[in-house]
Structure 1
């Protein structure tokens, strides 16, 4: 969940499904470490074109189909995964275009999607096409994308598929998986979806907000007056959500965030231990200018993207278009997935994240109505010990698992690489797949 920045509208030139082989990257972007890549656009509905970027795994396997495919969705809503997730978090290259040591491509095939349309290199080719208004429409566009992508890359139809979403991207990932399962059951699409990864995901907004005041007070971030200010706004947003007045709830949520920042004297709400002050931007926004420059110069040239398509760090218009849907929970869809499928829900949360706090994640997990809920309440968490160090805690029942990650904030892949790699190893590599 991010606060947006002004966005410049796009003009467009590409139509339909197209892709280019990246064995011919320009100098500085050649497949480092033997990384093979492809990218392109898929028309998901009239005049709406979604950009994708696929990296084939560099794992020591005889064929890429021996490893799962991970789809990565960024949050915001309005942030493109082609830039942030790719170059700042988990892709094969960092912002300096040098090889990242801890890239997910070393073990998995990785597909970044600029979602929703209008974000990153995704674009509209006509003013009659509108931005998505809710999570259901987001899911519909993503399923449309997958139908085209999988029909062109049939080898990915059978290998294990995992949809990972960070922050608001987790909310999108849940709807995407929910609709994808429906289409698989209808026989309109062939995919082997095995799991949904939810990293500090904005699943049930009210549960995070309910913890803001006490979290800040107990850590000594606010005094009694600050606590009361946040608590009063929390009561208001709870009333609005109970009335299903989600537009009002979204307005109040923005006031709450502003109040938290002001009363805590400018903590970074995405990671409370980072150095910050009232005049400083959150860490993730510090990448804005350099990321915009990289994506609109070297990357755009390397991928042969039209100069008329402008990549932006975040599309504020998308955020505004989803105003009435921002505060809606997606827990009912998670309950359906847990109760009606064997798809695994993999939840992980950094303990230093204030905005999407671990306490809130625990609350919505405990409130889920599913077949394993009784056992879930009885189950004790276990330490996530790696190399004699406790990196967090894990709790698992049936097809639901929750990792509490120490020494991490909103972006676990960046803040605690060791824990993130262990989570991926346990959940994606140790399982036995039928290919």
Structure 2
């Protein structure tokens, strides 16, 4: 290679079954000498993660990647690595793990030697950090990723021999563009976190670039010390063929198909989108919690539901379970909705009354109550989102 080739993935979200073609391409690029980095959220977000408990994803990262930046869905898995000695370095300048973390965690990193020599500075955005459930971020020490902090890491890498220093950000494409418009200390930033239709922004030699999410593709960057970088997205279909034995995943995917194929029940009609599921689920959860109103964050759901619901389809729909809780004091539903929107959530409500302006007894999820700072207690009897959805889909005879 005339330049250092950097291959980047982001927001993979445990998409192993549909992402095998992407993983095969990463393997091939690595064999050709490319450096491979993930920009966060490699773990979590679908039924496969529930099946594998992150172990398959950990193995893939250990085999294929030179470094990764932590995303908001990664912390729990990073804290339970089965083989931390084989795991690639975790790179994040503004987040420090608890002492119990078994792997290698650094603020910035010189990647394995190529010409030109590449350094990366990883960082996690504040909004992304605040979406992490408190139990998962307990013990982590976070500071905002300021320009001064990033510049200090950049200068250290340059002093250690880096020819090119890039940012790998789990902050969101639009936020990274705003940083660049205000003179961010790194002229090239790889974005992660917010799924968006934008993949490349450029202005006056500055760039924000992003890879396709959820195993749909990868980003190739030809890094040049003069700043004349090249960028290319490579995309794949979930049905793309992977040569047998290439990735060693046949056995585990066969087991996953059996596990996920268990039939849980049926719906009266399919719910095509996660918005359709949210409206039905919010009403069922309000009834289960015996409340006047229920507020659900749409981010708890990731897909619609077929009429015949299997374990895989249910967990693909609700990959992030949460307890149902009753808020200790009464609030107007519209006030709770407005507070959730200010935090960047997309809330959906179910109420007994036509108006949400009067104070009433509200239930929600433990996640959203914690984000909103609302004192709450568990629903009686205890119940979770998945419990509620499972009860909804089960046929009477099941």
Q: Report the TM-score range of the alignment, normalised by the length of the smaller protein.
A: under 0.3
**TM-score, normalized by length of structure 2?**
0.24
Q: TM-score, normalised by structure 1?
A: 0.22
Q: Which has the larger radius of gyration?
A: 2
The structure with the greater share of residues assigned to helix is 1
- Higher RCO (CA-CA < 8 Å; seq separation 6+): 1
